[in-house]
């Protein structure tokens, strides 16, 4: 069902269909949400990439559970996903990293993501330093940059309906691994 909805979303929102809210909570229990981009989805889960020293990565190190939310307003749809989070393999991270534009790969080296920045010139100077270190296209993936996979335990597919009588379908993974399907009141 997710694949079908995502295909329809790409047809309606070709620039932002893969934008999703990632919600995490650190060891202090405080929630934090931000938009990230879905970079892979299959039977194993939903993948995004980031600096492993970012706040989201620190939250996930302390609490390996997260929630994702896709909202496609033109379609009147939302998909909520909840589950545990695991690291992608180095091979997966390397393969995705190699597809990024050169400046984005250099930016992964230059940015101390989520850390205080005194002024933009510091980032620009660091970027120039890494451009000098890696003048060509061969830019290795930094050891502090990788991906995470949200392994779903629960999905909710929400469809807008007239008079706020929305349709909500929930899939919950049972302890045996099968999916139990149900409906929720709007």
Only one residue has tokens 């779903």, namely: 152
Question: Does pTM surpass 0.85?
Answer: yes
Q: Is the pLDDT of residue 107 over 90?
A: yes
> So what CATH class is 2-101+145-184?
mainly beta
Q: Reply yes or no on whether 168 is catalytic.
A: no
The residue extents of the domains of the chain are: 2-101+145-184
**Bridge pairing between strands 31-37 and 179-184:** unpaired
Tens-place pLDDT, residues 120-151? 999 999 999 999 999 999 999 999 999 999 99
CB atoms within 10 A of CB 5: 18
Q: What's the whole-number average pLDDT of the chain? A: 97
Sign for the pseudo-dihedral over CA of 25, 26, 31, 33: negative
| pLDDT attached to residue 53 | 93
**84, 164, 168, 173: the active-site residue:** 164
Mean pLDDT of 80-101: 98
If pLDDT is split at 50, 70 and 90, which confidence band does 48 have? Answer: very high
């Amino acid at each position: 069902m997710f694949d079908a909805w995502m295909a329809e979303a790409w047809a309606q929102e070709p620039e932002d269909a893969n934008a999703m809210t990632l919600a995490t909570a650190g060891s202090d229990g405080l929630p934090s949400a931000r938009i990230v981009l879905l970079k892979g989805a299959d039977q194993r889960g939903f993948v995004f990439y980031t600096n492993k020293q970012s706040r989201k990565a620190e939250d996930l190190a302390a609490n390996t559970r997260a929630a994702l939310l896709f909202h496609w307003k033109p379609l009147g749809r939302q998909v909520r996903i909840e589950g545990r989070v695991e690291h992608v393999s180095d091979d997966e991270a390397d393969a995705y990293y190699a597809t990024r534009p050169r400046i984005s790969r250099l930016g992964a080296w230059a940015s101390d993501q989520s850390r205080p920045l005194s002024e933009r010139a510091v980032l620009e100077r660091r970027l120039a330093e890494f451009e000098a270190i890696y003048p060509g296209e061969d830019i290795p993936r930094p050891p502090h940059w990788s991906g995470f996979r949200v392994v779903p335990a629960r999905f909710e597919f929400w469809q807008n309906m007239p008079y706020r009588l929305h349709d909500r379908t929930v899939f919950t993974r049972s302890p045996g691994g099968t999916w139990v399907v149900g409906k929720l009141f709007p």
